[in-house]
């Protein structure tokens, strides 16, 4: 009995759960509230009334069940017969009832469709409401952001305007300072340039004054020398070696250079004649080489054809004799000299007399004696446009290989050719020529051949 009661309770619980689910499905199908909380018409009473009406319609023509038995069977048979006999009378009512139930079902279906439409509309309305709420919220936020951005923009614009004004003020001040500095620099440079021009002007005036005074001094010195010497014409001078008819002392001063310049250029020979005790300068001129030898304690004397130049050398305390160098050399004893020097002279000689002079020098030098010959360098084409033909007593230029050949043929050895006085120093325009071309055709204005007598 206990087991049957427990099973009955379980079945009743399952039946109640099933009825609850059915009710929930019916409630969901015939909901009275749409999505979003919108109330809908409640169709459940109409549905219940319809079910009741359908129950009544279904019971028409049936009899109430009774307990079994013969009597009951007879009674039930009689009731059915009566029901069939009265069917013609209640047929219209039954059809009416069924039509009413059908109309109620149609109304109920229409109302259910209406509820579904309302529910769908409610969903759309809810979505529209959500969209409207979202749009309203977004609009409020956008307006707030717009106001904030506008405030930030106006503030930034004000800051930029202030910064631009400050930058313009700084630029203007910087420009004014720059203009002021440039003006000050220009004024200072102008003052410096004016002072420099004035200084150079005074330097140039001082240099011109010194040059003018030096020129006057040299002219007066030459006049005094000529007045003091008053030499007589030399009777023993040969026509080919006679002194020029013009003032050769002034000519040398103007075109060969001052004595200091010539003596500085001859410093290169001091080492060559070092150790000699008897040096002869052929054509000693103003005595620059003799002064160089005296500075280095080398005994030396000179031979010069011009009496004025001989007198000038003697005034300096130098040993010089007025004589023709060929006659003077010929009168000397053989091997009596240990040095012979001749600068800017051999280009004045006739070509056939140059070997004779070198041979005489060889005869008068001791073995190992030193010979130095200096002359313009015809390898340099510029020599022909400068001082070679400037001197009318020049006869013919002597190429270095030819002079070295003459020296070698006369019995000299250890021959060395030294080229000096670069042409570009006195003619800067030569710098425009190619280096290799300039080194071949415009190298040195002068050269010297240095040699020693072989034993």
Q: In the chain, what are the domains?
A: 18-140 (no CATH), 241-453 (3.40.50.150)
pLDDT digits (tens, 9 = 90+) for 350-368: 999 999 999 999 999 999 9
Q: Which pLDDT does position 354 carry in this prediction?
A: 93
Which distant-in-sequence residues (6+ apart) come within 8 Å of 38 by Cβ? 118, 122, 125, 126
Between these two residues, 120 and 275, which has the higher pLDDT value? 275
pLDDT at 136 over 70: yes
What average pLDDT does range 104-115 have in this prediction?
Answer: 76
CB of 252 closer than 8 Å to CB of 222: no
Q: Which pLDDT does position 14 carry in this prediction?
A: 80
Half-sphere exposure in the Cβ direction for 163 (13 Å, CA): 6
- Tell me the pLDDT of the chain averaged across its residues: 80
Strand arrangement, sheet containing 412-422: 320-322, 300-304, 279-282, 337-343, 365-376, 444-453, 412-422
Least confident of 58-67, 85-94, 187-196: 58-67
Half-sphere exposure in the Cβ direction for 339 (13 Å, CA): 24
What average pLDDT does range 398-402 have in this prediction?
Answer: 93
Query: What's the rounded Cα separation, in Å, for the pair 298 and 304?
Result: 19
pLDDT digits (tens, 9 = 90+) for 314-339: 998 999 999 999 999 999 999 999 99
Query: What's the rounded Cα separation, in Å, for the pair 240 and 74?
Result: 201
pTM of whole model > 0.85?
Answer: no
Confidence of residue 235 (pLDDT cuts 50, 70, 90): very low
The torsion of the CA quartet 253, 257, 263, 268, rounded to 10 degrees, works out to -150
Query: What's the rounded Cα separation, in Å, for the pair 104 and 98?
Result: 10
Q: Which residue has the tokens 């909901």?
A: 31
């Amino acid at each position: 009995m206990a087991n049957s009661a427990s099973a009955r309770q379980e079945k009743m619980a399952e039946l109640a759960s099933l009825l609850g689910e059915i009710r929930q499905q019916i409630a969901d199908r015939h909901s009275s509230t749409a999505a979003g909380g919108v109330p809908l018409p409640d169709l459940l009473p109409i549905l219940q009334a319809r079910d009741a009406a359908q129950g009544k319609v279904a019971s028409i023509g049936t009899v109430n069940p009774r307990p079994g038995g013969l009597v009951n069977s007879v009674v039930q048979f009689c009731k059915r017969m009566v029901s069939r006999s009265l069917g013609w009378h209640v047929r219209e009512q039954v059809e009416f009832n069924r039509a009413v139930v059908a109309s109620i079902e149609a109304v109920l279906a229409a109302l259910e469709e209406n509820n579904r439409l309302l529910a769908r509309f409610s969903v759309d309305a809810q979505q529209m409401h959500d969209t409207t709420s979202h749009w309203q919220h977004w609009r409020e936020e956008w307006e707030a952001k717009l106001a904030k951005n506008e405030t930030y923009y106006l503030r930034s614009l004000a800051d930029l305007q202030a910064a631009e004004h400050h930058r313009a003020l700084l630029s203007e001040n910087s420009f004014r300072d720059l203009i002021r500095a440039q003006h000050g620099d220009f004024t200072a440079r102008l003052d410096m340039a004016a002072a420099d021009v004035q200084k150079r002007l005074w330097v140039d005036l001082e240099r011109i004054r010194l040059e003018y005074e030096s020129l006057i001094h040299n002219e007066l010195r030459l006049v005094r020398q000529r007045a003091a010497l008053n030499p007589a014409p030399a009777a023993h001078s040969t026509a080919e070696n006679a002194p020029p008819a013009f003032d050769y002392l002034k000519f040398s001063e103007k075109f060969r250079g001052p004595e200091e310049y010539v003596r500085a250029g001859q410093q290169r020979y001091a080492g060559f004649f070092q150790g000699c005790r008897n040096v002869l300068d052929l054509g000693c001129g103003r005595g620059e080489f003799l002064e160089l030898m005296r500075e280095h304690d080398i005994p030396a004397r000179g031979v010069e054809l011009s009496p004025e130049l001989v007198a000038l050398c003697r005034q300096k305390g130098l040993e010089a004799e007025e004589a023709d160098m060929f006659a003077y050399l010929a009168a000397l004893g053989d091997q009596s000299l240990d040095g012979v020097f001749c600068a800017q002279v051999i280009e004045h000689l006739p070509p056939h007399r140059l070997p004779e002079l070198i041979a005489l020098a060889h005869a008068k030098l001791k073995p190992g004696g030193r010979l130095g010959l200096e002359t313009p360098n015809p390898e340099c084409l510029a020599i022909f446009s400068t001082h070679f033909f400037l001197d009318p007593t020049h006869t013919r230029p002597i190429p270095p290989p030819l002079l070295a050949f003459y020296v070698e043929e006369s019995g000299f050895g250890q021959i060395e050719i030294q080229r000096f006085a670069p042409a570009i120093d006195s003619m800067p325009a030569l710098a425009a020529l190619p280096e290799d071309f300039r080194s071949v055709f415009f190298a040195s204005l002068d050269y010297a051949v240095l040699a020693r007598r072989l034993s």
